[in-house]
Chains A and B, each alone.
Chain A
Amino acid sequence: MIKVLEERKNQIYTKGKDTFDFACDKHSVAGSVSQRACVFCGSRVVLYPIADALHIVHGPVGCAAYTWDIRGSLSSGPELHRLSFSTDLRENDIVFGGEKKLYSILNELIDKYKPKGVFVYATCIIGIIGDDIDAVCRKLEKEKNIPVLSVHSEGFKGTKKDGYRAACDALLKLIGTGSTDNISRFSINILGEFNLAGEAWMIKEYYRKIGIEVVSVMTGDGRIEDIKKAHGASLNVVQCSGSMTGLAKSMKEKYGIPYIRVSYFGIEDMSKALYDVADHFSDNPEILKKAKDLVTNELSSLLPVLQKYRKTLSGKKAAIYVGGAFKAFSLIRALKIVGIDVCVAGSQTGTKDDYALLKDMCDEGTVILDDSNPLELSKYVLEKNIDLFIGGVKERPLAYKLGIGFCDHNHERKISLAGYEGMLNFIREVHASIMSPVWKFAPRNSASRGNTSSDAIQTSKCAGADCSPEACSSCGKF
């Protein structure tokens, strides 16, 4: 029986059963196996897709090794972001400091790769040995005449969200340094879209079709020059709420650019993301008209296909555990279209408002979790007897061990799930995950059908002390 830690009880809520007094935004409990990463991870994932920048991780080798080529973020040009650079600090560097090494490495790398900008990520140890990476960055910026930005992402200084903040601070330093000449009035930045499997390209194309110019995507297929002129856009469109809302708020304060929150997952949210932008530019009715045409056109081919899937998937049950809560909302809506109910929903970094909204969206009995761990997740997955788990790499084996279908909705995936095309990909994957015949062999499923795995195959009987290798494969003696 799995016990929920006392310290975590108010981070779990069952709709209709508990009163809603939900805790979140907390440091993870020591000794629980949190699915979260650290501050560094938050910064690294946000900035990673900037393809013409050199990203160097200042610290011992692990942090860089574990994030080498980690996201499926595509680039239409340079691929410098796919290389992993580490100062690989050794014992001597820890004793005598790593500033000189950092300087000398960057001096060489900038000349070799001629990046348009550099991001220097501080890891745990930098915060302890006290390297002044800001000073190194300033010096190089002057000498090399490119932006060299420090990212204060020491792992222990908060949670993944603080890492998002550190990344946004670095972006904010870039924004406003480029020319905004020739930018259309009907223009947007897309924030929090990382071009996994080319999703940003697809979304940009939708916006182009309805007459909207995309000034910059932060950070999918990102370029330093585009980010520098992002302040020239008329509207910020924020997807992936967790990582980029802070930046949108700062840009509103500093440049007076309003922002809206959208999601590109699922047909309802995708359509809304187009309509909301069209509404913002309501003085140009042509945009709304084009948006309507686009949506109608896409839906007319998509909906009949989804209907077919609905026939087999209707009534299935799903669990969702994702990084940011905003994605969970989209997934719940997208799954509803094919008749799948979400019975367990959680996120690593949701806010109080997110969870309140999540609660309102879910049916009675749904379990909502903040900063959960494998034991809790498996407990509720089993209690709710779900058919599909949607999460990231760390949740995948948990689902598979229990004979449950799984969809990767994390940043390592290679299939686009955004937009209309992505909705179809997503439902196809959901269908393949749930309907695969292999689950019939899972012991949990055969047990529930009253047919234990030992009934299905003839296992040889062990004769105890007298057993022989020919007769026995079960006692472990042979």
Chain B
Amino acid sequence: MSMVDPVLQGLVDSLNAAYGLCLDDGRLEEWPEFFVDDCLYQVIARENVDNGLPAAVMYCDSKGMLVDRVVALRRANVFPEHFSRHLISRAVLTGIDGDTVSAEASYALLQTRNDGETRIYNAGKYADRLLINDGVAKLVSRMCVYDTHRIATLLATPI
């Protein structure tokens, strides 16, 4: 087994850590900046992925669509007030092709609503492709494959 490049590993893990904290801090307007312009972001049930079915609850195939999600969330959508908390595992780099890296990491997304109780809201994994450019990693695609296929109430904030 080949040695993992510690620099690459660090870039991917740093991106994931910053990504989680960005969402958890509520800095949603910054969230699209983790992606390249021509990106694909999906939130999809594991039962669909396992059965070869493509339907996702969020499917954004441009950075503009990510921005639209955030604007809608800020101004249009009505959902329970909540805090998010991402716990993200160290990434496993599954492939390297030139300046593109494939990686996977597990996540647990905790949610705390106004009743004050913290619940495991969504658990799953990120299956990613990242572009490494000038020592910075950006997401080309992120597929959030969730095990928690029973979504509590609704899913407004990105994972």
**Chain B binds chain A:** no
